[in-house]
Amino acid sequence: MLGIEHPIVQGGMQWVARAELVAAVSNAGALGVLTALTQPSPEDLRREILRVREMTDRPFGVNLTFLPTLKPVPYVEYRDAIIESGVKIVETAGNNPHEHMPALKAAGVRVIHKCTTPRHARKAQDIGVDIVSIDGFECAGHVGENDIPGLILIPATVAQVSIPVIASGGFGDARGLVAALALGAEGINMGTRFMCTQESPVHPAIKEAITRSSETDTRLILRSLRNTSRVWRNGLSGQVVSLEKEGAGIDQIGPLVAGAKGRGVYESGDVEGGIWTVGMIQGLIDDVPTCGDLVRRIVDQAHALVSGRLASLTLSGTE
Ligand SMILES: Cc1cc2nc3c(=O)[nH]c(=O)nc-3n(C[C@H](O)[C@H](O)[C@H](O)COP(=O)(O)O)c2cc1C
């Protein structure tokens, strides 16, 4: 359906999924996904799409995330920039993309919708989405409000929809890929793992922080606003959680979680300088490979796992 070689997708990442990373992932035979809203305007997005095309002739997608923002976002203009640029794969997230479906479908775009519950997956299928990407509680960023870990969420979703399911949240290696396939998914989506690669545009100090962090070094913020997000465990995210416990509102919390501050972290490498998004999978990440090496390693080790350890279990079971 997506024209890719390996069943691996790089999820949209605000400030991170720029042309260099997207092209590197697609050149590795997986699906790179550009993040529309990282570009300040629809015109900038058109230029960024051209930059991806200069670096790869493989399929890639664009992520369009609908989230509550203080300043209104011209979503229709971003969508039209994607369509008019001839991009044929769009990943939507954050909210139901129903009002954009007719235009996307008319342009022959395959829509992957990312959500966090089987109920939302069913709804996505009902409005004509082609593929659902189901994000478990382990994931980086918006975990939703139902806290369903992948081990339950993936098979529950597969059981409730007939369209293909991509498993997302907590994936970073071959073991995860094989497990996702065993749970009924067609492939995996990874954010944090691709953020920690050579081609990822974040400061080396951020990559280094990911390699030394454990699975306990994330925190959930903004639960009190029903906009729960998994981020790195630093002083600032702790401060946000304390403020939430005291009943603070968006006026007090807003300035601490401002997007521009998070962006600054990726550029400066100052891990304490702002709120930044990362998933629990960081506990299993201990290197900074190229995207090509990463995808090759995952695919090779997945083949070895299936034909080695898992096959031997089947054999011993029948002897
Ligand atoms: C730095 C960062 C920024 C992200 N920004 C977005 C975003 O703008 N839109 C979106 O749909 N998902 C976003 N995500 C979520 C990823 O697309 C993906 O669903 C998630 O990372 C999967 O969990 P994992 O990190 O455990 O692989 C972001 C993730 C990271 C790590």
| Minimum-distance ligand 1 atom for the alpha carbon of 138 | 26
Q: Is the CB of 135 under 6 A from ligand 1?
A: yes
pLDDT at 67: 85
What residue owns the CA closest to ligand 1's atom 6?
A: 13
Candidates 63, 68, 116; CA nearest to 227 is 68
Q: Is the CB of 274 under 6 A from ligand 1?
A: no
Q: CA–CA separation, 270 vs 234, rounded Å?
A: 11
CB 191 within 8 A of CB 279: yes
Rounded to the nearest 5 percent, the helix, strand and coil shares of the chain are 50, 15, 35
Candidates 144, 184, 138; CA nearest to 164 is 184
pLDDT at position 9 over 80: yes
Span 200-208, average pLDDT = 98
Q: What's 306's DSSP letter?
A: I
pLDDT at position 197 over 70: yes
pLDDT at 29: 98
pLDDT at 137: 98
pLDDT at position 148 over 70: yes
Q: CA–CA separation, 62 vs 1, rounded Å?
A: 16
Q: Does domain 8-201 have CATH number 3.20.20.70?
A: yes
Strands (DSSP E) found in the chain:
8-10, 32-35, 60-65, 89-93, 110-115, 131-135, 141-142, 165-168, 187-190, 218-221, 229-232
Paired residues of 138 in beta bridges: none
- Express as a percent the part of the chain with pLDDT over 70: 99
- Name the band, by pLDDT with cuts 50, 70 and 90, for residue 69: confident
pLDDT at 56: 98
Q: CA–CA separation, 135 vs 13, rounded Å?
A: 14
The token duo for 269 is 């490498």
Span 185-201, average pLDDT = 98
Span 70-97, average pLDDT = 95
Look at the chain and count its residues.
319
Q: CA–CA separation, 217 vs 235, rounded Å?
A: 12
The token duo for 300 is 């090779």
180 vs 319, residue with greater confidence: 180
pLDDT at 187: 98
Its pTM surpasses 0.85: yes
pLDDT at position 22 over 90: yes
Domain limits, CATH 3.20.20.70, in the chain: 8-201
| Minimum-distance ligand 1 atom for the alpha carbon of 170 | 26
If you count DSSP H runs as helices and E runs as strands, how many of each does the chain have, helices first?
14, 11
- Name the band, by pLDDT with cuts 50, 70 and 90, for residue 317: low
The token duo for 198 is 């050579």
User: Residue 108 Cα, ligand 1 centroid: separation in angstroms?
Assistant: 25
Query: Pairing between strand 218-221 and 229-232?
Result: antiparallel
CB 116 within 8 A of CB 199: no
Q: What's 72's DSSP letter?
A: P
Q: CA–CA separation, 120 vs 126, rounded Å?
A: 10
Span 94-121, average pLDDT = 97
- Name the band, by pLDDT with cuts 50, 70 and 90, for residue 316: low
The structure tokens 């809203």 sit at 37
Paired residues of 111 in beta bridges: 90
- Name the band, by pLDDT with cuts 50, 70 and 90, for residue 258: confident
CB 22 within 8 A of CB 32: yes
| Minimum-distance ligand 1 atom for the alpha carbon of 278 | 31
Q: CA–CA separation, 49 vs 67, rounded Å?
A: 22
Span 204-217, average pLDDT = 98
**What residue type is assigned to position 295 of the chain?**
V
pLDDT at 318: 56
- Name the band, by pLDDT with cuts 50, 70 and 90, for residue 47: very high
Span 74-93, average pLDDT = 98
pLDDT at position 34 over 70: yes
pLDDT at 260: 75
Q: CA–CA separation, 119 vs 116, rounded Å?
A: 9
Span 224-246, average pLDDT = 96
Q: Across all residues in the chain, what is the average pLDDT?
A: 96
- Name the band, by pLDDT with cuts 50, 70 and 90, for residue 71: confident
State which of 13, 34, 132 you would mutate to test the pocket of ligand 1, scoring each by most atoms of that ligand within 8 A of its C-beta.
13
- Express as a percent the part of the chain with pLDDT over 90: 94
User: Residue 312 Cα, ligand 1 centroid: separation in angstroms?
Assistant: 36
The token duo for 294 is 């990463």
pLDDT at 314: 86
At 119-144, the pLDDT tens digits run 999 999 999 999 999 999 999 999 99
Q: CA–CA separation, 192 vs 230, rounded Å?
A: 11
Span 11-19, average pLDDT = 98
Q: What is the DSSP string of 112-150?
A: EEEESSHHHHHHHHHTT-SEEEEE-TTSSEE--SS---H
The structure tokens 């054999």 sit at 315
